[in-house]
A and B are shown apart, each in its own frame.
Chain A
């Protein structure tokens, strides 16, 4: 496979290195001469000095026979133009754009570049998952692991907030035991009204933890 990588910053550098390590033919395009010379020392002739947004540079890099162009500069506008030029002017089949501002993802799709990678969004979703997973904290296993004592913290956006406990679709055999609100702890009843910030200690069957989570916190995002 012949790949053109546009932008020789950190992402472009490691991408080129990885692709070459995987036995692919790669050309790396870098705009700044200083950076270019540095890259050339390591990669030799497969680095091209020039602006990847320009037709002449892409031509020089052999865009016409490229299977894939990856635009990974730190500038979203540049990445868009590089991908559009590659696809429309040189008929490159796949063009992948790095997106720095997650807001631009939709715009890229609208303008015909549907393969995008946003590191900001990726890391954000990982953090979100982390938070989501931490919401139901297992405290201890009871009765040889068939039941679990868990703690869960409600946020303002949890679907169980402002609802009474008896109205929740809790799994069978699940008991909400103690409510910690601020400095106070109280026993939970059917008519206890839940609030954002509440911490609940509950007992739930081990195989219903997901259902328990859903009843209190809503659908969890996919966790691995």
Chain B
């Protein structure tokens, strides 16, 4: 399949290399030319310099024929916006956005955008490890707990 990845950070680059090794066609977008060095010399996929909310850039990456799209930049809102463009306008079948903010991830999941929050996943897995609880399925880590909202409100009023 053809996959477009937005953001050539650690996650994006690793994902690109994984998919390429499995024989998929990969195009990866980043606004910083230096970021592509993470891919190493052997990478044969396409690298596109530009911002992911720009449709010209997305088209250059072959979004019109893409089977999947992953938004992995460090900006939650960039990921949200590009994922929506790709899903709504280009009707790419599998679209995922990485969103650090658990509540925003949840809000957009409710709105039909598949999201993954590495914050909840990381914190939840560390917690389970520390408490000696066996690791669960990924989805089980994605529901934000009440404690998050409480902590934030306390921080604000305090």
| Complex-state Cα separation, A50 to B157, whole angstroms | 11
**One of A57, A75, A103 near B77 (C-beta < 8 A):** A75
B95-138 interface (Cβ within 8 A of A): 101, 103-104, 107, 111
Contact A54 B101 (CB under 8 A): yes
Q: Residues of A contacting B22 with CB < 8 Å?
A: none
| Complex-state Cα separation, A60 to B157, whole angstroms | 10
B156 and chain A: residue at smallest CB distance: A60
- Per-residue B-contact encoding for A70-114, CB less than 8 Å = 1, 0 else: 000001111011001100110000000000000110010011000
How many A-B contacts are there with CB distance less than 8 Å?
A: 61
| Majority secondary structure, A binding face | helix
| Majority secondary structure, B binding face | helix
A32-60 interface (Cβ within 8 A of B): 49-50, 53-57, 60
Q: Residues of A contacting B111 with CB < 8 Å?
A: 84, 88
| Complex-state Cα separation, A56 to B148, whole angstroms | 10
| Complex-state Cα separation, A148 to B87, whole angstroms | 57
B75 and chain A: residue at smallest CB distance: A77
Interface residues on A, range: 20 to 34
Contact A81 B89 (CB under 8 A): no
Report the interface size for chain B: residues with CB under 8 A from the other chain.
Answer: 22
Q: Residues of A contacting B153 with CB < 8 Å?
A: 56, 60
| Complex-state Cα separation, A149 to B151, whole angstroms | 75
Contact B85 A107 (CB under 8 A): yes
- Per-residue A-contact encoding for B137-152, CB less than 8 Å = 1, 0 else: 0000000000001001
Question: B residues within 8 Å of A by Cβ?
Answer: 53-55, 75-78, 80-81, 84-85, 88-89, 101, 103-104, 107, 111, 149, 152-153, 156
